[in-house]
Each structure stands twice: as structure tokens, then as C-alpha cells.
Amino acid sequence: MERVAPWLRAVNTVLTPAIAGRRKKVDRLIERAVREAEDRTNSTAHGDDEFIEDMRVLLTGYADVPGLTPMGWIGASQEITDRLANHLRIRKLHALDPDIADQRIDRPIVITGVPRTGTAVLQRLLAAPDAHRAPLLHELLHPGDLEDGHRRTERMVDAQRRAVPTFGGIYDMHPDKPDSCVWVLPHGIGHLVRVHPPGYVQWMLERDYTADYRYLKQTLQVLQHGRPRRRWVLRAPAHLWNLGALMKTFPDAQIVWTHRDPATALASLCSMTETATALNTTDADPRDIGRMWLGLFATGIDRARAERARLPAYTVLDVPYRHLTGQTEQLPALFQRLGVQWGQSEQDALDTAKAARPHGHRYDLARYGLGQAEVDHALADYKRIYGGFL
């Protein structure tokens, strides 16, 4: 299957010599990214040394990826510049208007679960009531710079569609639709869908994510300031790995954990990763993708279970994938447990969300060197405890 447009392969071939020695260029590129971020925000990066160093780790990881394409390198460099600019802008806005920090983020609904378990569908559904709100893709990519950020997001989405025509059949991206918190969180599993930087997984798993979630809250406060206060509906599979830091930042959050047969979810994610990775590297092994995600599934679920055990039972609600795709008659009960009425507008939102789900995505676990028995063994405790939701 052709995962990237033929013209992109030609462009990458021509430009490959230009990114030779990229490892030696990391420091210079970080310095340039800081300068550009400062120019774009009319601000200074003084005091942001830790954030900058974390971006250096990420760019260094990209530089070390075998077979990294020019488009992968250019995309990583631009993303880091954007993330630095966003960080400076959020900090500046808070400094200019102390009232922003007084914005309360009350009882957010946070949807999580291992990837490919229906979190996107559920977020769009729960964002439908008038009293709710979810962050839109363009708000997440360029918070505090919404007019120009919207145009830039449109260009980004259009460029991705042209470069990877098949990706729209896997993941629905639109500037004006709700999307994932990973676009704000500086680090986490979101990067691993696109590339596997050497050493990044271990570094990522060992981090303290408290500062990252504080930054997410600061971003939501900027987006909320000056607008009617509504209940936020957030989502990211990445939250599963860091529920402790999330709950420390949002102590009254209501967690909604989506579940699906892990072998099916894993196969879907591996296929999504292989498609996204084709844009960034010519040297991805499907078997490596499978091993990486199986290990991360096990780690994320174990971490989430440990954190869940420390929380009051009412904090986390479990939602089977089948309730989002087939047995949707169960959804009104979920809304009731979240304190939300189910009516015609919610039913209409469900019909719209189901119609917008990508179709035609085919995947095979065996392609990624895994079998049902191996997945069942690695995730035996998860299937034992949550089997009724699978």
C-alpha cells in the first residue's frame, strides 16, 4: 500500500543530502528557534531554560532517527519553533493579565484510554451540550494567536492530506474540530506515532510531567479568558500514562476511560504509526513498531491502574468501545453519570460523530510481528480486570 504521495518520495530523495550532519546542527537550530519564537511573540525566553532543554532532547532524538527524511527533519524543526513560541506567548499573556491565572478550570471531563479506543468520537459527543466545550485543533496548535493560527492550521492539515493521502482514512483532523491535548503537552507518546527517536521512550517514561500539565492548564485558562465559562472536555490517550500529574493539576477532574480489545486497538495503532512514520523516515520496521507499542500499552495500563487505585471510585468511568460504535443506547446513562442530560441535540451529535469516523482502515496484527496470544499474555491483568468492557 502506498502510504505517502509519490511526489513526496521524489522531494525527499532530492533533499536528503541537505540534512546530512543534522546531529551537529541541533544546537544551532535550537538557538534559531528561540530567536524566531521571541520575534513572533515580542517576548523573551529568559527563565525558560528547562523547557528549551526539553525541546533540545526532542530535536536530538529526531536527528538520531535512522533514515530520517528531509520532510521529517523540517517538520520537527518547525514544530519545536511553534512549541517554543506558544510557550512564550502563554507565559507573556499570563504576565500581562494576572486575571487569566484566576480562571477556574472546574470539573473537566478527561477522556483517555489506550490509543484507537474511540476517544475522539467520545470527545466530540461530550462536547456537544451547550454547557460543555472542547479545545479545537487550531486553538491547541496556536493558543493565544487564534486568527493567524487558524490559517496556519489549515495549511498544515492541507499539507498533510496531500503528503499522506491515506491518513484521512485513519484519523480525522480539522482546524475547527476538537482534538487531543498532545498538541499542547510538550512530551509523550504522541511523538511516537510519527517517529521513534532512539532513547526517547525511556527518557519520556522517566520524566516528571507536573510542569507539562501546569502548562496545559495555563493554556486552557488563556482560551477560556473573556468567554463564557463552560465545562472543558479534554482527551488524549497520553493521559493514561500520567494520571498522577493530571489529577494533581485538575484534582476535581472526571476521568472517562475507554476500552477495546487490546489486540484490535494495537493493530490499528501500529497501522496508523506505520502510515505516519512513512512521512518521516525510510527505515521503519513494522516489527519494531509492534514491539514498541505492546510495551507501551502494558506500561500505560499498569501506571493508570496504580493511580486509579489511589482515587475515589467515582472519579473514573469506564466506557466500552462498542457503546460508541454499536450499542449506543448505553450512552444516555453515561451522560447521566457525568451530570449531563441526554436529548435530541446529543443524539444528533452522536449521529454526526459516527458519520465522521474514518472508514476503510484495514490492519493486521501479524504484520507487526505480534499474535493474539502474545498480546493476551502481556496484558493478561488488564483483560482479567476490564474484560467486561472489552
Residue 207 pLDDT: 92
Q: Is-contact 111 233, C-beta < 8 A?
A: yes
Give the per-residue pLDDT at 360. Answer: 63
Where residue 18 falls (left for φ over 0; alpha for ψ -120 to 50; beta otherwise) is alpha
Whether 323 contacts 330, CB under 8 Å: yes
Higher-scoring residue by pLDDT: 18, 33? 33
Three-state secondary-structure class, residue 321:
coil
How much is the mean pLDDT over the chain? 90
Which tens digits make up the pLDDT trace of 333-350?
888 999 888 888 888 887
Given phi > 0 = left and psi -120 to 50 = alpha, else beta, which region is 55? Answer: alpha
Q: Which fold has domain 6-389?
A: Rossmann fold (3.40.50)
Task: Give the whole-angstrom CA distance, residue 346 versus residue 331.
Answer: 10
Residues 6+ apart with CB under 8 A from 132: 109, 126, 230, 231, 232, 233, 340
pTM of the model: 0.93
pLDDT per residue as tens digits for the range 170-211: 888 899 999 999 999 999 998 999 999 999 999 999 999 999
Least confident of 47-51, 79-83, 326-330, 370-374: 326-330
Pick from 4-13, 118-127, 129-138, 208-217: least confident: 4-13
Q: Contact, 213 vs 249, CB < 8 A?
A: yes
Q: Give the per-residue pLDDT at 131.
A: 92
Q: Please determine, for residue 356, whether its predicted confidence score (pLDDT) is greater than 80.
A: no
